[in-house]
Amino acid sequence: MKKYIVVAAAAVTALLCAWVLARAYTYKYRSQDTIVVTGLGETEFTSDLIVWTGTLTAEAQDAATGYAQIEASKAKVQQYLTAKGLPADAVVFEFVNVEKQFTPVYNANGNWAGQRFAGYGLRQRFTVESTEVEKVETISREISSLIAQGVAIEAYAPNYYYTKLDDVKMGLIETASADARTRAEKIAVNAGARIGGVASARMGVFQITGANTNEEFAAGGSFNTSSRNKKARITMRIEYRIK
């Protein structure tokens, strides 16, 4: 009796092993019966929003005098922007930052002996945000003319943005997906097969660089704000089943 039980157990074990091997072979075959392609979507666009910043500065022996200088400079900047056709609500002035300034003091031997109060340094940052990109661009280049009027100002290069970026991204996903399918179809035809449904899909990182530049892509995605004209790029890695 025990002999029959052992034989039966061995038979069952053999059947199980055969079933496992068959499943493994079938899975391996099916996993290889696909095509993996990468589709590309690219487009160029022009920014429709500009953000430009600058800083007013002043130095004085007492804070009140320095603040009066900042206020006078602020009034001239506001007048300048209004004269250039920019609405008042397009510019925002932040709080005035006041800092004490000190100069180092050295003794007769040239050794540091401490520091002496030298007055106050005041700074007020302002930001211009507008959809009138070209107008603000011109203003940012010509703002230095206020220096002749006694305005101490530090102006920076504008930053450029696009308010419909989500639409651009969705369009690129569609383009990249269509490009991937075209590539897969060509591969399948050359192999005498047809593509079926999508087994998996993965989107690459969203890259925005300056148009007509050699700007490099970043692993986590790039987001150019220094160029008015931009190029957006996205990839789609899609795996298709083969019929």
pLDDT digits (tens, 9 = 90+) for 24-67: 433 443 446 899 999 999 999 999 999 999 999 999 999 999 99
Instruction: Kindly tell me if the per-residue pLDDT of 239 is higher than 50.
Output: yes
Average pLDDT, integer, range 219-225? 90
In a domain? residue 214: no
In a domain? residue 142: yes
Question: How high is the pLDDT of residue 24?
Answer: 43
In a domain? residue 113: yes
In a domain? residue 131: yes
In a domain? residue 118: yes
In a domain? residue 132: yes
Percent of the chain having pLDDT more than 90? 72
Instruction: Kindly tell me if the per-residue pLDDT of 149 is higher than 50.
Output: yes
Question: How high is the pLDDT of residue 217?
Answer: 86
User: What's the total number of domains in the chain?
Assistant: 1
Question: How high is the pLDDT of residue 58?
Answer: 96
Instruction: Kindly tell me if the per-residue pLDDT of 10 is higher than 60.
Output: no
In a domain? residue 237: no
Distance CA 204, CA 222 (A): 12
Question: How high is the pLDDT of residue 32?
Answer: 60
Question: How high is the pLDDT of residue 30?
Answer: 43
Average pLDDT, the chain: 87
pTM: 0.78
In a domain? residue 241: no
- Domain span at 152: 50-158
CATH number, domain containing residue 150: 3.30.70.2970
The better pLDDT of the pair 150, 22 is held by 150
